[in-house]
């Protein structure tokens, strides 16, 4: 687990280029993802047939994501961000284009790719700990020591003392912590988070974002985070992919040059506000 | 710690904030027993009031209804006590109870198995479902004469009727419980590459249990109805037979005594089912 990975990561390109090109405005650059990208989306297009009508949910989506990078997909509802996440997860086959992860095409769900939803989706008949171990049970995982990993994850997500509670005994925020633990426990190489804190109140959401930033720094996993909350995306991400609707497409990919680790104070930095405004502008113009 | 306030009433007075931890609060357990007691008292008074009005109306001169139609509570109650202490009444109710339970286990078991099969096989579901709905909307007690002519006057025809009536609610609820599962939970299982059996065992079955159990509870009552209807149609034993004989002989107090006994048996079965349900579906909030 690369604890040190992100703490030292400053992207060389952003450091050299003048300020304005912190923003990768040219989508053509993304067509050839940098060689080091671990996840690459290649000309993804998704069309749904609705009777005789056709709904283009995604058009020409090109994106390369580096190992350990935290990337957010931001956009209004209907921009296809959740659809894109399902495609990356291998749950949905794109109409055209392809997804590659760790060198091979994603055509079905894979063990190294984990998923988390807006709803906690816990099984109410299982206790916290048994919800967390569900993926290990399903996979009949034998390759590592369960108990140690479960204890580690519970520590990391701060669920100590709630191991034997049932979901209905937990608050919404706590339930999402359990869902996050369930995702982390099987040690995925790629985490896909679909508006995980979207249903929570503002205070809980902000608190959990701080937690997620800490956890993310600790685990150093490649992460794709879907949200319609710009501030949240900026706080967490190395890059923010701004998406537009009709058809769903990438408008702009914005770098977030806020140093890591991300702490509550990061929200008060000028860069934080500048980046938020930069994204707002893009969305307003579209 | 109480003292008179402006409004002249006694209110607890706080001397410091920490006093809040010492103010005596009503005992939770005590208030629970009190609620149960209140419930018994309330329901008891309603029953008593009905009995009283009933009794008074029967004792009017001329009576509100002839005794041959409706007997008095003061006659029903002794008849009930007598029924409780009579061996052959118990023997007959025991027959009905057996018919009900055997019919229930056959019908509910079959409904669950076939329902599971239908739920898990989409083609089977599409083929079967319209037929199920057709049967579902047929009043199945109307099958009683058919079963009598197939299986005779004995226990078998009643068991068959009880089983047929139980079968459908359990099957329908099993199908809907197993098919209507949370979308994200389904996606989660898919993303974990769960096998069909794992999805069934870990997700479908547990999420379906509340729905299936609702079907089972309905089926239990239906089974009793089936057994009784079968006995009323044609039989020489059982609670239905006792009721019919007593009605023929205008022993109205006995008819009502038997009905009361049946109602109590039904109630006991229902409460038992609820006990099992609470144990089994501990995570479900609206079990009540």
Give B44-56 pLDDT, tens digit per residue.
Answer: 999 899 989 888 8
Residues of chain B with pLDDT > 70: what percent?
Answer: 91
Q: Do B188 and A125 touch (CB under 8 A)?
A: no
Q: Distance from A258 to chain B by nearest Cα, in Å?
A: 33
Task: Please check whether residues B222 and B150 belong to one and the same domain.
Answer: yes
Task: Please check whether residues B139 and B252 belong to one and the same domain.
Answer: yes
Q: What is the pLDDT of residues B177-231, one digit of tens each?
A: 998 888 889 989 988 888 889 899 999 999 999 899 999 988 988 899 889 888 8
User: Which residue range(s) make up the domain with B193?
Assistant: 75-280
Q: Distance from A113 to chain B by nearest Cα, in Å?
A: 8
Are the CB atoms for B75 and B183 separated by under 8 Å? no
pLDDT band at B284 (very low <50, low <70, confident <90, very high): low
Phi and psi for B206 in degrees, rounded to 5? Answer: -60, -40
Nearest Cβ partner for B182 among A111, A121, A166: A121
Residue A211, C-beta contacts closer than 8 angstroms, at least 6 positions apart = A157, A158, A177
Residues of B (179-198) whose Cβ lies below 8 Å from A: 182, 184-185, 187-194, 198
Q: Distance from B221 to chain A by nearest Cα, in Å?
A: 28
CATH number, domain with residue B143: 1.10.3720.10
- In this prediction, residue A226 carries a pLDDT of 93
Domain boundaries, chain A: 23-111+191-213+222-286, 113-187
Q: Do B192 and A134 touch (CB under 8 A)?
A: yes
Task: Please check whether residues B270 and B154 belong to one and the same domain.
Answer: yes
Nearest CA in chain A to B201: A138
pLDDT band at A35 (very low <50, low <70, confident <90, very high): low
Fold of A23-111+191-213+222-286: Rossmann fold (3.40.50)
Q: Calculate the CA A75 to chain-centre distance.
A: 14
Nearest CA in chain B to A169: B283
Nearest CA in chain B to A166: B283
Task: Please check whether residues B25 and B138 belong to one and the same domain.
Answer: no
- In this prediction, residue B17 carries a pLDDT of 60
The total domain count for chain B is 2
Coil, strand, or helix at residue A21?
Answer: helix
Q: Do B191 and A119 touch (CB under 8 A)?
A: no
Dihedral sign (CA A266, A268, A274, A279): positive
Q: Does B280 touch chain A (CB under 8 A)?
A: no
The residue whose two tokens read 């199908």 is B175
- In this prediction, residue A176 carries a pLDDT of 87
Residues of A (140-199) whose Cβ lies below 8 Å from B: 166-168
Nearest CA in chain A to B280: A125
Task: Please check whether residues B134 and B260 belong to one and the same domain.
Answer: yes
Closest C-alpha to A147, from B136, A9, A155: A155
Task: Please check whether residues B30 and B145 belong to one and the same domain.
Answer: no
| Average confidence score pLDDT of chain A | 81
| Average confidence score pLDDT of chain B | 83
Q: Do A121 and B283 touch (CB under 8 A)?
A: no
Q: What is the pLDDT of residues A237-248, one digit of tens each?
A: 989 998 888 888
Task: Please check whether residues B40 and B140 belong to one and the same domain.
Answer: no
- In this prediction, residue B14 carries a pLDDT of 60
- In this prediction, residue A7 carries a pLDDT of 44
pLDDT band at A27 (very low <50, low <70, confident <90, very high): very low
Contacts of residue A135 in chain B, CB cutoff 8 Å?
192
Decide if pLDDT at A18 tops 60: no
Domain end position, chosen among B6, B39, B64? B64
Nearest CA in chain A to B192: A135
Q: What is the pLDDT of residues B86-112, one digit of tens each?
A: 888 888 889 899 999 999 999 999 999
- In this prediction, residue B70 carries a pLDDT of 78
Task: Please check whether residues B55 and B125 belong to one and the same domain.
Answer: no
Task: Please check whether residues B231 and B255 belong to one and the same domain.
Answer: yes
Residue B12 falls inside a structural domain: no
Would residue A158 be called left, alpha or beta, if left means φ above 0 and alpha means ψ between -120 and 50 degrees?
Answer: left
Decide if pLDDT at B35 tops 90: no
Residue B269 falls inside a structural domain: yes
Decide if pLDDT at A30 tops 50: no
CA distances from A252 to A85, A100, A273, A278, B163 (A): 17, 21, 17, 10, 65
Q: Do B184 and A135 touch (CB under 8 A)?
A: no
Residues of chain A with pLDDT > 90: what percent?
Answer: 7
Are the CB atoms for B221 and B214 separated by under 8 Å? no
- In this prediction, residue A71 carries a pLDDT of 92
- In this prediction, residue A267 carries a pLDDT of 86
Tokens of B210: 């509340």
Residues of A (86-105) whose Cβ lies below 8 Å from B: 86, 89-91
pLDDT band at B11 (very low <50, low <70, confident <90, very high): low
Cα(B90)–Cα(A275) distance, integer angstroms: 83
Task: Please check whether residues B33 and B165 belong to one and the same domain.
Answer: no
Residue A213, C-beta contacts closer than 8 angstroms, at least 6 positions apart = A235, A236, A261, A262, A263
Which one-letter DSSP state was computed for residue B162? H
Q: What is the pLDDT of residues A177-234, one digit of tens each?
A: 899 889 888 888 899 999 888 888 888 888 888 888 888 888 888 899 999 889 899 8
Q: What is the mean pLDDT of residues A69-77?
A: 89
- In this prediction, residue A14 carries a pLDDT of 41
Substitution target from B184, B191, B197, B207 for chain A, most A beta carbons within 10 A? B191
Q: Distance from B170 to chain A by nearest Cα, in Å?
A: 22
Contacts of residue B203 in chain A, CB cutoff 8 Å?
123
Q: What is the mean pLDDT of residues B161-177?
A: 90
Nearest CA in chain A to B190: A109
Task: Please check whether residues B24 and B114 belong to one and the same domain.
Answer: no
Residue B235 falls inside a structural domain: yes
Task: Please check whether residues B178 and B41 belong to one and the same domain.
Answer: no
Decide if pLDDT at B122 tops 70: yes
Decide if pLDDT at B151 tops 90: no
Contacts of residue A115 in chain B, CB cutoff 8 Å?
187-188, 191
Nearest CA in chain B to A114: B191
Q: What is the mean pLDDT of residues A258-270?
A: 85
Q: Do A114 and B203 touch (CB under 8 A)?
A: no
Closest C-alpha to A123, from B233, B51, B284: B284
Quick one: B267 exposed, middle or buried, by C-beta within 10 A (0-12, 13-18, 19+)?
exposed
């Amino acid at each position: 687990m690369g604890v040190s990975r992100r703490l030292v990561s400053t992207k060389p390109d952003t450091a050299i280029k003048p300020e304005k090109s912190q923003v990768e405005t040219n989508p053509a650059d993304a067509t050839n993802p940098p060689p080091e990208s671990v996840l690459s989306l290649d000309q993804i297009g998704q069309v749904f047939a609705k009777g005789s009508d056709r709904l283009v949910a995604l058009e020409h989506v090109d994106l390369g994501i580096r190992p350990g990078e935290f990337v957010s997909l931001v956009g209004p509802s209907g921009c296809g961000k959740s659809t894109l996440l399902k495609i990356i997860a291998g749950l949905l086959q794109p109409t055209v284009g392809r997804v590659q992860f760790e060198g091979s095409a994603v055509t079905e769900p894979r063990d190294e790719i984990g998923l988390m939803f807006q709803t906690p989706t816990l099984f109410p008949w299982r206790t916290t700990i048994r919800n967390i171990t569900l993926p290990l049970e399903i996979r009949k995982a034998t390759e590592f020591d369960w108990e140690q990993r479960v204890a580690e994850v519970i520590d990391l997500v701060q669920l100590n003392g709630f191991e034997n509670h049932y979901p209905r005994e937990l608050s919404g925020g706590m339930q999402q912590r359990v869902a996050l633990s369930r995702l982390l426990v099987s040690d995925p190489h790629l985490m896909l988070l679909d508006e995980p804190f979207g249903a929570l109140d503002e205070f809980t959401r902000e608190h959990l974002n701080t937690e997620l930033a800490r956890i993310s720094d600790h685990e150093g996993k490649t992460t794709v985070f879907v949200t319609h909350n710009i501030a949240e995306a900026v706080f967490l991400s190395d890059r923010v992919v701004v998406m537009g609707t009709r058809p769903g497409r990438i408008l702009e990919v914005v770098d977030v040059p806020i140093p890591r680790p991300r702490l509550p104070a990061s929200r008060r930095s000028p860069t934080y506000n500048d980046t938020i405004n930069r994204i707002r502008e893009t969305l307003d113009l579209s | 710690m109480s003292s008179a306030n402006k409004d002249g009433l006694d209110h607890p007075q706080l001397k410091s904030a920490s006093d809040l931890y010492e103010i005596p609060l009503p005992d939770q357990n005590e208030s629970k027993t009190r609620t149960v007691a209140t419930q018994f008292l309330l329901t008891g008074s309603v029953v008593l009031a009905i009995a009283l009005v009933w009794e008074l109306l029967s004792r009017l001169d001329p009576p509100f209804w002839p005794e041959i139609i409706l007997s008095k509570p003061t006659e029903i109650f002794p008849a009930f006590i007598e029924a409780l202490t009579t061996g052959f009444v118990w023997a007959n109710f025991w027959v009905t109870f057996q018919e009900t339970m055997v019919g229930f286990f056959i019908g509910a078991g079959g409904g669950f198995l076939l329902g599971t099969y239908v739920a898990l096989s989409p083609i089977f579901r599409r083929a079967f479902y319209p037929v199920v709905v057709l049967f579902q909307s047929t009043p199945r007690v109307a099958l009683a004469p058919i079963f009598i002519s197939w299986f005779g006057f004995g226990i078998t025809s009643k068991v068959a009727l009880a089983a047929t009536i139980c079968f459908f609610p359990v099957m329908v609820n099993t199908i809907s419980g197993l098919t209507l599962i949370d979308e994200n939970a389904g996606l989660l299982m898919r993303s974990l590459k769960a096998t069909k059996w794992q999805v069934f065992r870990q997700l479908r079955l547990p999420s379906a249990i509340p729905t299936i159990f609702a079907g089972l509870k309905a089926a239990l009552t239906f089974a009793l109805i089936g057994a009784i209807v079968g006995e009323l149609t044609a039989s020489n034993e059982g609670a239905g037979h006792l009721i019919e004989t007593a009605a023929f002989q205008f022993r109205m107090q006995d008819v009502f005594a038997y009905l009361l006994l049946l109602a109590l048996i039904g109630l006991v079965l229902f409460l038992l089912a609820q006990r099992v349900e609470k144990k089994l579906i501990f995570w479900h909030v609206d079990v009540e």
